[in-house]
Structure 1
Amino acid sequence: MATAPAPKLDTSTLDEILLDLAVLIELSPYDREIAENRYRRLKEYVERSSSPLRPYLVDGESLIYAQGSVATSTTILSGDNDDRFDVDAIVEIDVPSHWSENEPLDQLFETLKNFPGAVEVIRCTRCVQIRFAFMHMDVTIMDRRQRLSGERPGHIFHSPDTGPAYRVASNPWGFTVWFRAQVGIGERLFEQRLKAARKAASVSRLTLLDEAERRILADAEQVPLPPMIPSRIDAQEAVALKLLKRYLNLRYTRSRLKRPPSIWLTKLTGDMGLIEGGLTLQLYALAKFISDNLRKHLAHQTVPREANPSYPPDKINDRWPRPWPEAEVDMRTLADHLDQLADAIEEMNRSSQSAILSKIDDLFGERFGQEERRILKDRYDRRGTSGRDLLIKPGSGTIYAPAVVGSQTEAQPIPRHRFHPVRLPSKGDVSGG
């Protein structure tokens, strides 16, 4: 007897819910305008006449710019119960040769400690953090005095309260350029669906600090200025990464273990590339891709050490995981979390909408699950669908994942890939398909 073909994969229900969720946890268009203003105001404040750092800013050479998740368009709400965005900035200077390795951060703190509108300013190990309501800005000093070749590489400073301070090779500008080239601008159909979801679900959380910030916003609307924050990336890869980061944030909120660095997750997202077939498959594949990477290291008792493709001396996960044997706990915990997410995605795709939403509460936060219920009710009311029909059909078919990719050497930039899926056998499948 011929074996019945596997059912065609249908993830439309889960795709719709995940897209709404991604919009709920990101910066709204208005939030982006306010964050843009904060970067512009940071530049004005560091360059003011009384700034301790002003003498070391080189005209035409030094830049103050966004880095990290806001530059790769993957910023999300952090924390468990609080609405907070964490954004990052770089201030380039020519560090005097006679300064100690602690001095750059000390001078940056002196420069920023009375930042207008800030709730608090804190000197951290590698940055100075400016805290606002609903937002933190981590500002890092970069020394570019050596004018290293490449796309703006330099050195940042590791300056702890105890223990020696030292320099760290870094190239956030180059990494942003690499990642945005890897994921591209996104596919048109996905972009259209994402814009529709933003129209229905976007929530603004940031508020203006004072009249000066209102003036900056008004001036920017009247006379468009060069952007401080790079444009959005409406690519499926970036949206899946946002969801993965939100999921992991909740897993580590009450854990004593350090969460994996966001830039490392971003690097692996760029390595994996686009998974054809929708957001559900992209998120599932990303979880499995990173988990498989970790399981291989566990099997060989090694640790992943990823290099910035734009500047190999920049080791982007130099502080995670810990050295072996503590690394085993760090990697196994993360791999288990990722496998649990992949299993949950498979389960949700076979479930009714109400069951999916119950799972969303656990995976991404109950308040987002509640907000998603309201969005879906409004959406189906507009479509003229009765409340009884709100529980639309579950998905079907077998979840797919990308083919296994051989590991790259640290010094090699990773080329652009667009992996095509291969079938994962479901439970009870002995056909070998």
Structure 2
Amino acid sequence: MSESEWTFPSGFTARVAALGLRETGDDLSLVLADRPAACAAMFTRSLFAGPSVTLSKHRAAAGTARGIVTVAKNANVATGAEGARNAAEVADLAATAYGLPEGSLLICSTGVIGRQYPMPVFRDHFAAAAEHSRAATPLAVATAMMTTDTHPKLAQAYAGPARVLGIAKGVGMSEPNMATVLVYLFTDAEIAAPELDALFRPAVEDTLNSLSVDTDTSTSDTAIILASGAAGPVEHTALADAVGSVLLDLTRQLARDGEGATKLLTVTVTGARDKAQAKRAAKAVVNSPLVKTAVHGADPNWGRVAMAIGKLFDDTDIDPERVSIAFGDQQVYPIAADGQQDLARLTEIMRAEEVVISVDLGITDPAGEARSTVYGCDLTDQYVRINADYTT
């Protein structure tokens, strides 16, 4: 879709600006609600969570917010008491500039850890925000949020008369332990904050919490949903389906754009004892550097998948004699691919832009609910290069 085709649901507007935090382009964005919006949010569990996370977590607990401020190229993490004061000041400067109550905006930051905000720059900007910023589309906001992303990430779905729009950024330091990277959903559905929270959390668990690019949990991970209520009430099941659809779309985009990635890697585990075990096994596979490099090289080395499952030492009910492994629609264990036709099919599967690996643990019915699908990407030399040179 073109920039003009992406619009915010009713009740939301946005601004972007270039403060010089990055060499070129916008690095500050604000999405504002024209009324108090119902709010639900999830935040990183990192012990080094940044002041922006701490502040937003406190404010989101009230169940309403008037919008989100996002700062790119500066994570404001490991910045101590000064960083905490700066996060609050930036959020409240933005609120004052746009006629909103202090304490009503959430704030998120992404970028290099350990650097203080350049506060004179923020103060000068918000002193004349109308002159220094411009009205923005969702695409412009998604672009302003990017760090090492190669492209902006957006998705949308409908729930009756209401719409759910999602915006995300993030391609590295991404194995969430609550939510992931920075992900915002905006809807004009009317729904109370407790009900919004109740449908948001399980959707995050099945999507964003099922993503891993590199096994690393960011200090800034945040997922937020705001509901303006402008479209009126909608059926909660329909809204939950729309939220889940948007989050899954964004999760797949985030995985596909993993730093240096050339392929999306999807791993599904079935037949587990319970859903938690299924996810644990799927994450063991998607996080294995040996599996990820085999996927990159289009090498159908199923032994690496077996190795990854075998690392689950504490899951003593996993019996290798009951496990089966498939790449795409081709089983490779315990019945190994054989013959030129099977090998040609495997080569085709492994060269695809999305590689699907399936593992059945054989503990319960593979069609049952004790299953999990996780999303990741291949591991390339470009990932090493991007992260070796990130701050220099």
With normalisation by structure 1, the TM-score equals 0.25
Structure of higher RCO (CA pairs closer than 8 Å, 6+ residues apart): 1
Higher strand share: 2
With normalisation by structure 2, the TM-score equals 0.26
